[in-house]
Amino acid sequence: MPFVLAKVAITPPMLKITRVTEAGATRVIVSGRIGAQQLPDLRQFLEAETASNVVLDLTEVSLVDEEVVRFLLRCEGRGIGLVGCPAYIREWMVRERRSQ
């Protein structure tokens, strides 16, 4: 049996953040994967928001890690609404909240 050496390229996850303002409310649309490496960018983006009504739209999020789940729980605690949250993320948030 021949030995095959494969090269694997590991690239950082792609994250896209879009800001939409409608009728005094700000919707922050997040697309792609969110990992611990991307949290500083997302956190900075949200902290720069001056609108009192901020919603984080997670409809296009494909993957998160445990640190992101904890971050999303803190966002909810600060009054940032979460919409379009995939079911697996919401369930993970519920389990994480119960374990705290």
- The CATH number of whichever domain residue 38 belongs to comes to 3.30.750.24
pLDDT category of residue 92 using cuts at 50, 70 and 90: very high
The 10s digit of each residue's pLDDT in 19-64 is 888 887 889 999 999 999 999 989 998 888 877 889 999 999 999 9
Match 């009504």 to its residue by tokens: 53
> Is 51 contained in some domain?
yes
0.95 exceeded by pTM: no
Full residue range of the structural domain in which residue 25 is found: 15-99
> Is 61 contained in some domain?
yes
> Is 68 contained in some domain?
yes
Total of domains in the chain: 1
- Helix (H) or strand (E) segment spanning residue 82: strand 81-83
Does residue 13 surpass a pLDDT of 70? no
- Following CA atoms 61, 62, 65, 70 in sequence, which dihedral angle do they give, to the nearest 10 degrees? 30
